[in-house]
A and B are shown apart, each in its own frame.
Chain A
């Protein structure tokens, strides 16, 4: 069974530029999550989707971050415009259903904002 796929793996941009990350969850997983992991810390949830609907986006900085999962499968996370403090690893995870089921993570996208 294929795992969670993410691209790109690395991205370097200048501040105020835009960037987008893509995620394809494990087949059949209805719930998709985007996390931000700053160096030396555990991942922090940005947004949770159940199929194509948003369940929780309370920690998403909506003035610059946006995410969509239009067809309930793959998802895109966008940052526009990027700030220096957005430098982090952006992880996508999926689980079979919402609730307390285990989440499976992709390899992440490492973003450096200069």
Chain B
């Protein structure tokens, strides 16, 4: 099946620093979604991207749908302690015509923010 390569696997940063993580695939995706998951909770949708080249912000978070439709990145500016958690990229692979594949998740990026 489709696989997403998410990097880095983990990040240890100081409060106030900016963070960048990305997701790549060998095939084309129709949608890119970024989720955050706190311990003991379900993933929470941060940003949804539906068009190649789309750049969307949500507060201190910015994400882009790559022009090639094979990648996406998420940036977090001026990190704070509550940014700690696991960040997942996810996407719907292109399946031809108006078809779509099932939502596929990356392996996650574990973010630790030191005060």
Q: Can you list, as one digit per residue, whether each of B71-115 has a CB less than 8 Å from chain A (1) or not (0)?
A: 000000000000000001010100000001011011110000000
Task: Count how many chain A residues have C-beta atoms less than 8 Å from C-beta atoms of the other chain.
Answer: 23
Q: Can you list, as one digit per residue, whether each of A91-108 has a CB less than 8 Å from chain B (1) or not (0)?
A: 101000001101111111
Q: Measured between C-beta atoms, what is the minimum distance from B96 to chain A in Å?
A: 13
In Å, the complex CA distance between A32 and B35 comes to: 18
Q: Which residues of B contact A14 (CB under 8 A)?
A: none
A-B contact count (CB 8 A): 51
Complex partner residue of B102 from A56, A91, A107, CB under 8 angstroms:
A56
Complex partner residue of B31 from A4, A6, A100, CB under 8 angstroms:
A100
Complex partner residue of B42 from A40, A42, A107, CB under 8 angstroms:
A107
> Is A100 within 8 A of B100, CB to CB?
yes
What residues make up the interface of B, taking CB atoms closer than 8 Å to A?
A: 30-31, 33, 35, 40-45, 48, 50, 88, 90, 92, 100, 102-103, 105-108
What residues make up the interface of A, taking CB atoms closer than 8 Å to B?
A: 4, 6, 33, 40-45, 48, 56, 91, 93, 99-100, 102-108, 110
